[in-house]
Amino acid sequence: MAAIKLTDQTLRYITFFENLTNTRVKDCLERFGTIYFIVDKGQFHKAIGRNGLKIKHLRGSLHKNVKIIEYSPHIETFIRNIFREFSIKEITIENSSDGKNKIANVVVNLSDKGKIIGLDSKNLKIAKEIVNRHEKIDILII
Whether residue 116 sits in one domain with residue 59: no
pLDDT digits (tens, 9 = 90+) for 29-70: 999 999 999 999 999 999 999 999 999 999 999 999 999 999
Same domain for 55 and 33, yes or no, is yes
CATH of the domain at 117: 3.30.300.20
Number of domains in the chain: 2
- Is 3 inside a domain boundary? no
80 and 58 fall within a common domain: no
Write a three-state SS string for the chain.
Answer: CCCCCCCHHHHHHHHHHHHHHCCCEEEEEEECCEEEEEECCCCHHHHHCHHHHHHHHHHHHHCCEEEEEECCCCHHHHHHHHCCCCCEEEEEEEECCCCCCEEEEEEECHHHHHHHHCHHHHHHHHHHHHHHCCCCCEEEEC
- pLDDT by residue (tens digit) across 92-109? 888 877 777 788 888 998
